[in-house]
Structure 1
Amino acid sequence: MTSIIFMGTPDFSVPVLEGLLDHGYEIKAVVTQPDKKVGRKQKITKTPAKVAAEKHNLKVLQPVKLSGSPEMEELINMHADLIVTAAYGQFLPTKFLNSVKIAAVNVHGSLLPKYRGGAPIQYSLLNGDKKTGVTIMEMVKKMDAGDMYAQKAIEIQPDDTSGSLFEKLSYVGRDLLLETLPKIIDGTVKKVAQDPDQVVFSPNISKEQEKITLEMTAAQANNLVRALNPDPGAYMMVDGKRLKVWKAQVSDETTDLAPGTVVANKGRFAISFANGTVLELLELQPSGKKRMEVKNFLNGQGSKFTTGEKIVDEE
């Protein structure tokens, strides 16, 4: 039986782990990020990968930093055949990568060499891409730079968010990994080097990137909303307070109104953006409130705004 050290953290990793178990691979350990405090009540929460591992009574390790940790030495001494990672969230030291008998394999949520880094799915939406996908790749010391074993693309739908793409790609990644692993194990797989001239990076989303600005077109603002749903959410500043936008759609209409102005406030809520474009807001979350459909917003706080009124703050 082929033995694997599995490394993953979010929901994306769970179908991959479950698929390996269903196909008879021996999981020597599941390595995941430490439990963290979540929500207003700061409740200590296990990672989805840990929850799945415990369901199957698998050994779980959660080093704050893998490099130089006692956990890494323990993993090296397991002498596993493979390392498989799926959105683990830490660099893996070369010493550890070289400790397995066959290969260290990563399930990466993009069509490499496009979008190396920690937020490939978000950037595919931010940039308005028409397709994304999964790459099964060999892990090396340099981030997401290893040779590629296999790729599969999917179309990005107009209503896709990071949440929906993460879910879709987790199953695409599971199936592609299970199809590719036997060829990696028996040595028949054909590796393809990444073209360095085509490399695009996708670093983790910064706090500054969460803000919808008036320099954006409606399409760019909508792409940001989709990219940051379900976490952490995009927002605009209205009357000095954050107004989170969870769902929107680009209107076919155009306007001469300055960016940040109410275009419509009866039955729908539409705001002007750069180049005369218009964005309809469909699901909102005022500061200190719960998420709500726009009709509920318009019946409450939104009722004070009038058509032609500029409400979005410049800074």
Structure 2
Amino acid sequence: MKKIIFMGTPPFAATILKGLIQQVEYEVIAVVTQPDRPVGRKKILTASPVKKTALEANIPIYQPDHLAGSKDYEMLLQMQADLIITAAYGQKIPQNLLLAPSHGAINVHASLLPKYRGGAPIHYAIWRGEKETGITIMKMVEEMDAGDILTQSTIPISDKDDVGLLFEKLAVVGKELLLNFLPKYFDGEYQASPQEESQVSYSPTIKKQEEQLDWQQSAQALDRHIRAFRPFPTTYTLLDGQRVKIWQAQPLVKLDADIERPLAMEKPGQIIATDNHHFYVRCGEDSYLAVSEYQPAGKKRLMVEDYLKGTPAEHLIGKHFGTEKE
């Protein structure tokens, strides 16, 4: 039985861990995950999905604030593991630990490397309009996501996918790819391929200012932005100086002829029309966003048809969404 140290944090990693636990030929001897974090408005201290999975399986758990130099790090070095497997762990792993297991360390990464190295590959794949993404299993080296590619699996990105849905899809793909690959890896029946450096791109952690919608962009670009940040970290825009959120919308090149458009002039970011289920926002490049799910400032998200029951259309037409830089 091969002894494995698993390192990961979010639901993506928990799905992969559950798959490993179910295999009789592997023993997960330790799980390393991020410390419990305050979550929600009440800031309730919450365990990561990986920790919850490990607790259910009675696997020893390690949660150092900083892995390098910690007591946990020293203990992990002495475990005589056969392999370290990481999946969205969230910390840099010291080289000595990567080399400690007899079969080194491998990573399950949610992109088709060398595209989108970094911590937000699924967000960027949608945001940048990629038609496909996938899972890469690679050898781990000290430089982030730069190790040799061991195997990959590809899936399409639909125009309905958001980051939450794509995370779920890729977690299943990653679990299946890993479990199919591990026997070959332990037997040495694989070929490692160096990453092509000229093809490298990055997906750094999302910054707060990147959550704002830019209405000068096309409706298609805005739709990708919304889906790439849904359900986390979410996008926002300003209305009457307050932050509001658009959760669901459809990009349009033109409006139906029967939709009334009372404004003589239309500017990007302006609400120009409504119907029973949407309000329509003028965007850049002469395009339109049909918004169907909306969250007013300080309130819960709701369907636009419900929002319009309490907010007459004439109070919306001509209103202008903006950004904090304006």
1:295 aligned onto 2:305:
yes
Q: 1:302 to 1:109 in 2, by over 3 A?
A: farther
* Aligned AA (1:185): F
Structure 1 counterpart of 2:20 = 20
Alignment of 1:36-55 (within 5 A): 36-55=37-56
The equivalent residue for 1:261 is: 270
The equivalent of 1:102 in structure 2 is 103
Trace 1:45-84 onto structure 2 (pairs within 5 A): 45-84=46-85
Deviation at 1:247, TM superposition (A): 1.2
Q: Within 2, Cα distance between the matches of 1:304 and 1:111? A: 48
Letter in 2 for 1:22: Q
| Contact map agreement 2:216 2:269 (CA 8 A) in 1 | no
What is aligned with 1:93?
94
Matches within 5 A, 1:246-257: 246-253=247-254, 257=266
CA shift for structure 1 position 79: 1.1
Partner of 1:284: 294
**RMSD in angstroms over aligned alpha carbons?**
1.4
Show the counterpart of 2:179. 178
C-alpha deviation, 1:304, in angstroms: 5.2
For residue 310 of structure 1, report the CA deviation from its aligned partner: 4.2
Q: Partner letter of residue 264 of structure 1?
A: A
Alignment partner, residue 191 of structure 2: 190
Q: Deviations over 1:85-118 (max 9, x none)?
A: 1111111010110111102010000000000000
Normalising by structure 1, what TM-score?
0.97
After TM superposition, give the deviation of residue 50 of structure 1 in Å.
Answer: 0.5
My pick for the range that moved more, 143-152 or 229-238, is: 229-238
State the partner residue of 2:258: none
Residues 306, 284 of structure 1: CA spacing in aligned structure 2 closer, same or farther, 3 A cutoff? closer
**Cα offset for 1:215?**
2.2
Please say if residues 21 and 28 of structure 2, whose CA atoms lie closer than 8 Å, have aligned partners that are also in contact. Answer: yes
Cα shift readout 1:20-57 (whole Å, capped 9, x = no counterpart): 11112101101000001000111111100000100011
Partner of 2:4 in structure 1?
4
Q: 1:306 to 1:41 in 2, by over 3 A?
A: closer
Residue 116 of structure 1: aligned partner = 117
Q: C-alpha distance in 1, partners of 2:91/2:76?
A: 15
Which amino acid is 2:161 matched to? Answer: D
1:267-278 residue pairs with structure 2 within 5 A?
267=276, 268-278=278-288
Which region of structure 1 is more displaced relative to structure 2, 242-251 or 293-302?
A: 293-302
Which deviates more, 266-275 or 114-123? 266-275
| Aligned counterpart in structure 2 of residue 313 of structure 1, from 304, 319, 322 | 322
The alpha-carbon distance between structure 1 residues 3 and 243, as it changes in their structure 2 partners (threshold 3 A), is same
Q: 1:49 to 1:304 in 2, by over 3 A?
A: farther
- Single out whichever of 260-269 and 286-295 deviates more from structure 2: 260-269
1:313 Cα deviation after fit: 2.1
Structure-2-length-normalised TM-score: 0.93
1:75 shift after superposition: 0.5
Structure 1 residue 158, shift from structure 2 partner: 1.2
Moved more, 136-145 or 210-219: 210-219
Aligned residues of 2:4 and 2:28 also touching (Cα < 8 A): yes
Q: Deviations over 1:229-276 (max 9, x none)?
A: 111111111111111111111124169721011121232211011111
Aligned length: 314
Identical aligned residues as a percent: 44
CA contact 1:265–1:305 (8 Å) conserved in 2: no
